[in-house]
Amino acid sequence: MKNFVEIFEVGPRDGLQNERSRIALDDKIAFINLLSRGGFRRIECASFVSPKWVPQMADSAEVMDGIERTSTVSYAALTPNLRGFERAVMARVDEVSIFGSASEGFSKANINTSISESLERFTPIMLAAKEENLPVRGYISCVTDCPYDGSISPESVAKVANELLLMGCYEIALGDTLGKGTPEKIHNMLTSVTEDVPINRLAGHFHDTNGLALANIDVALDFGIRVFDAAVGGLGGCPYAPGAAGNVATEKVVCHLESLGFETGLDSSIVDQAVGFARQLRGKYH
């Protein structure tokens, strides 16, 4: 297992959420069903947020109801508050995610609260998740740079990561939301974060705005991180991070990891089909 690296596929949620044209429910379901055959252990499928803020995710309950579930896949959803969590439970998700930020400016723009207030809001979700026996993953946005606050100190990231760990998050995904992270910045950030958080509880979530995502993954690999978020076809972006490009492409990460001697357990032919499907979606709705 030392040479195994898991890719957490986030295309159906983080990848599609920023598409301007509404994507048909049947296409979302077909996309997830295809990915379910690819060997992924976890797929992020939905977001139970207000449709006012993220209209693309308004049909998340219908998506979860319509997919053909595979027993080896954990189907995940984003839940920013208790109401969203309750809707996710009704939709029979396998795990949920909460999302905070290492930047005060981004936290206020994204979820309209300070960092400390956002962490307080997660407490009832964590309690409810414990009762439902649902795993909770934590996201941290802007781990190196913020569109509002500029450079983010590694200590700020470490503080939020430690809080999420103490709350009970089984894993914490460190997000380079703008894609402005460099190997040096990622190294400094991870040096600080790993003082408090065990490396096996961390994941990397890198956007590829400046083409450095793979180099940043290499730094994280050197630290011992073995889980990375990615989206087939490089789908994605963030509505609250102007100028941010998509997630690092799953197919690029697979190729890169395999060239380094790591195994991902993914079926390359299915991944290629999913890349084609993602491109068709963009062509169909643009």
The distance of Cα 43 from the centroid of its chain, to the nearest Å, equals: 9
Which residue reads 């503080």 in tokens? 159
Of 247, 123, 118, the residue nearest 173 (C-alpha): 247
Q: Report the DSSP beta bridge partners of residue 135.
A: none
Query: How many residues make up the chain in this entry?
Result: 286
- Extract the tokens encoding 119: 């962490």
Task: Extract the runs of DSSP E, i.e. beta strands, from the chain.
Answer: 6-9, 42-47, 74-78, 95-101, 136-141, 145-146, 150-151, 171-176, 202-206, 227-230
Tokens read off for 235: 């789908």
The answer to whether 45 is a known catalytic residue is no
Tokens linked to 282: 């963009």
* Token couple for 154: 């590694």
Catalytic residue among 45, 142, 169, 238: 238
Return all residues near 127 (Cβ < 8 A) that are at least 6 apart: none
Q: How many Å apart are CA 69 and CA 256, to the nearest integer?
A: 29
Instruction: List CB contacts of 189: < 8 A, sequence separation 6 or more.
Output: 143, 144, 154, 157, 174, 181
- Cβ atoms of 142 and 177 within 8 Å: the answer is yes
CA proximity to 31, closest of 42, 45, 19, 21? 45
Contact 276, 249 (CB under 8 A): no
Provide the annotated active-site residues: 238
